[in-house]
Amino acid sequence: MNKSPISISRPKPFLLKAEWEDGFSATISCEKFRRECPCAECTGEKINEVIYSLPKPIKFEPGIFDLLDLKIVGNYAIAAFWGNGHNTGIYTWDKFRTIFENNNLSEEEIAKIEKVATNDKRNIMLNVIK
Ligand SMILES: [Zn+2]
C-alpha cells in the first residue's frame, strides 16, 4: 500500500493535519513532529550495533518548532524545514503515517494547546506534549 497522504495541511500554525486514501486522518502538533525527527543527528547513528553518534537532545533555541516548509522527496518520503535551520529530517511515508497514528490530538487537546500558546510561536506547547 502506498502510504503517502492525499493531503497535508496546517489548520493552525502549530498543527499539522494529514489525510489518507483509506479514510484515516489525524492532526498532530508541529512540536511532536519535530521531536520525531528521524535524522541521524536527532536519533544517533548506529550501524550493525556499532554506535557512531548518540542522539542529540533538542536545543531550545528560536524557531525549533516552527515548521517552515515540507517538501516531497521522490515518491517515498517528505522532508521538513524548521525555523532554526534544521533540515536533515526525511520522514518516509511509513514513518509519517505512524507518527500520525500514534499522536492524533483530540479537539480538547487542541483547545488546551491553543490556550497555552502565546503570540510567541517558539513557546508553544513546551509543557503540553501528547
Ligand atoms: Zn533531525
Domains of the chain are 7-123 (3.30.2020.30)
**One-letter amino acid for residue 7 of the chain:** S
Centre of ligand 1 from the C-alpha of residue 117, in Å: 24
d(CA 14, CA 97): 18
* Region 82-86 average pLDDT: 93
Q: Tens digits of per-residue pLDDT, 39-83?
A: 999 988 888 888 788 888 777 788 899 999 999 999 999 999 999
Is residue 67 within 8 Å of 52, Cβ to Cβ? no
**Whether the predicted pLDDT of 130 surpasses 80:** no
Q: Tens digits of per-residue pLDDT, 10-26?
A: 999 899 999 999 999 99
Burial of 127 (0-12, 13-18, 19+ CB in 10 A): exposed
Confidence band of 118 (pLDDT split at 50, 70, 90): low
Confidence band of 1 (pLDDT split at 50, 70, 90): low
Average pLDDT, the chain: 86
Centre of ligand 1 from the C-alpha of residue 36, in Å: 8
Residues with CB under 5 A from ligand 1 (ion): 37, 39, 42, 89
Q: In this predicted structure, which of 8-12, 27-31, 123-127 has the lowest mean pLDDT?
A: 123-127
**Whether the predicted pLDDT of 126 surpasses 80:** no
Centre of ligand 1 from the C-alpha of residue 40, in Å: 7
Is residue 33 within 8 Å of 8, Cβ to Cβ? no
Contacts 24+ apart (CB under 8 A), 60-68: 60/126, 62/122, 63/122, 64/34, 64/122, 65/14, 65/30, 65/31, 65/34, 65/121, 65/122, 65/124, 65/125, 66/30, 66/121, 66/122, 67/10, 67/16, 67/30, 67/33, 67/34
Length of the chain: 130
